[in-house]
Amino acid sequence: MTKLNHIFCTIGISVLSLGCLDSFAEDLGNGTFSNPVIWADLPDPDVIRVGDTYYMVSTTMHLMPGAPVMKSKDLVNWEHASYIFNTLDDNGRYNLYDGTVYGKGQWATSLKYHKGKFYALFSPNDEPYRSYIFSTRNPSKEGSWELVSRPPHFHDCSLFFDEDDRVYTISGSGDIILTELKNDLSDVKEDGVHIHLNLRDEEETNLLEGSRMVKHDGKYYLMIISWPQGKPRRQLCYRADKITGPYEKQVVLEDNFAGFGYVGQGTIVDDTQGNWWGMIFQDRGAVGRVLTLSPVNWENGWPMIDHVPEIAAKPEGTTLNHSIVTSDDFNGKKLKSQWEWNHNPELASISLTDRKGWLRLSTPRNSVSTLYHAPNTLTQRMEGPVCQGYVKLDISNMLPGDKAGLAAFNGHTGAITVNCTENGHFLTMNSQVVNLEREGTRISGVHNTELGYTEIPADKTGSVYLKVDADFNLGKDMARFSYSYDGANWTPLGLPFQMKFDYRKLFMGTRLAIFNYATEKAGGYIDCDIFEYGKKD
């Protein structure tokens, strides 16, 4: 185990002690489930089955640890298994130096199983523009993923092991390219296959990406998202008798499910009974890109999904009764696995042992200007249709100039913030919108609007509760903020905040975020006693 992995195992991420929500709304408890099967941000899914267990990976970009692997016995109830990496360090921007990696970093990981080992491939869409390939024999073991190689960049790639042990990538956006790798995955095979698949036709003149390759009954099936100019987003499948083609096309899903937008980009997987399922994401505004699960009907050799059902019979399997978003009392030796840091954390300023039962977040840097520059911001997903999160803080050890609080964090952020001054503490509710220069993703400015203010009594600094209530129902995307000094009696602060998903900014769903940063002098700290989370239908 590396030193960094050891540190994460000491104060970082636990995959063994997940709490449960009060209810699992997607599993209806009678052998059926409702869609979206996960109403939370899980874009670019890849799903495989090994034995009776399903494994899934998703995109987390600038969040650390990253590339979360989840597992399930029924495709409905999912739990965290591991993260493929703890941090990325290709350039200083991952540490919030000389820019950021907002909207960049790890994208669209491909997950495969071959001869007793799991493999994951992803290509960060930033410098030095090279892929990562990791492997493990046990994806449920924390810290078990090992780096195999750094081959060339493959956009939205699918890794594919054929039955003759030859291994390929299928990648690209519009121009889809098939590339053969060496058997040891160390690099591109110099004398191997490297061809353009020529999937364009008179309709497909715009977006084509999100490759996912599977093989069924001797044929090759390539799932790709399409967004023809002036037409709806849709899921395509290309089929061929040989991996090199020629390929024929079929639209397998075009559905404006529940009025939120057209469903597209994902994969298909078979269950233990021989049935097939499509796991495809849908953009749902500020909550992000949620997952839908749909039966696949094989018609004339095509995996047709046709539409996303509101309610359907579950795949057979044992229910795990876990969720990927939970509460945390900070009493464990490790943070629970739902948490991810915004960019690489500075671990020396994080502790679960300095004060037993509390998470201590110290400020590691002087003169941090905004939340978007702040290291050690701790985040987790939010869920629809309605969710709530609150945190209990001891703010008595903040220094003048420090800002700490709870945010609905995205490119458009709403936050309830404790401000420490020479004369005491006060609370504000703010709207914050970041502007990014795409080259190096540098922050060119943050538009900050104060929407609420109140002073904090001097005798209450040891027990301040901050809360976010979020409504992600169709046409809502609204967050409200409140505070309390006893965790029972809540006072609203500020105005309702309109959350947004903006691909030009952070390109992720809105997250609950606990933060503490110093605008003047480093060294102050807050202690977090509990974080309580819940969701409602």
Q: What is the pLDDT of residues 449-495, one digit of tens each?
A: 999 999 999 999 999 999 999 999 999 999 999 999 999 999 999 99
pLDDT at 18 over 50: no
The stretch 220-234 carries a mean pLDDT of 94
pLDDT at 19 over 70: no
The stretch 498-504 carries a mean pLDDT of 95
The number of C-alpha atoms within 13 Å of 280 and in the hemisphere containing its C-beta is 34
* CATH architecture for the domain at 335-536: Sandwich (2.60)
The gap from C-alpha 198 to its chain's centroid, in whole angstroms, comes to: 32
Predicted local distance difference test score (pLDDT) of residue 317: 78
Three-state secondary structure readout of 61-115: ECEECEEEEEEECCCCCEEEEEEEECCCCCCHHHHCCCCCCCCCCECCCEEEEEC
Predicted local distance difference test score (pLDDT) of residue 429: 98
- CA–CA separation, 301 vs 38, rounded Å? 29
pLDDT at 9 over 50: no
pLDDT per residue as tens digits for the range 364-406: 999 999 999 999 999 999 999 999 999 999 999 999 999 999 9
pLDDT per residue as tens digits for the range 397-426: 999 999 999 999 999 999 999 999 999 999
Query: Which 8-state DSSP code applies to residue 201?
Result: -
Predicted local distance difference test score (pLDDT) of residue 25: 56
Predicted local distance difference test score (pLDDT) of residue 283: 96
pLDDT per residue as tens digits for the range 104-133: 999 999 999 999 999 999 999 888 999 999
- CA–CA separation, 457 vs 453, rounded Å? 13
Predicted local distance difference test score (pLDDT) of residue 8: 39
Beta bridge partner(s), residue 250: 237
The stretch 91-110 carries a mean pLDDT of 95
- CA–CA separation, 323 vs 150, rounded Å? 33
pLDDT at 199 over 90: yes
Predicted local distance difference test score (pLDDT) of residue 537: 75
The stretch 47-74 carries a mean pLDDT of 97
Average pLDDT, the chain: 93
Share of the chain above pLDDT 70, in %: 95
Residue 210's CB is within 10 A of a number of other CB atoms, namely 27
For the chain, which residues make up each domain, given as ranges? Answer: 23-313, 335-536
Least confident stretch, 202-206, 274-278, 303-307: 202-206
Question: For the chain, percent helix, then strand, then coil, each to nearest 5?
Answer: 5, 45, 45
- CA–CA separation, 86 vs 31, rounded Å? 37
Indicate the residue type of 266: G
- pLDDT tier at 438 (50, 70, 90 boundaries)? confident
- pLDDT tier at 1 (50, 70, 90 boundaries)? very low
* CATH architecture for the domain at 23-313: 5 Propeller (2.115)
Least confident stretch, 147-151, 316-320, 384-388: 316-320
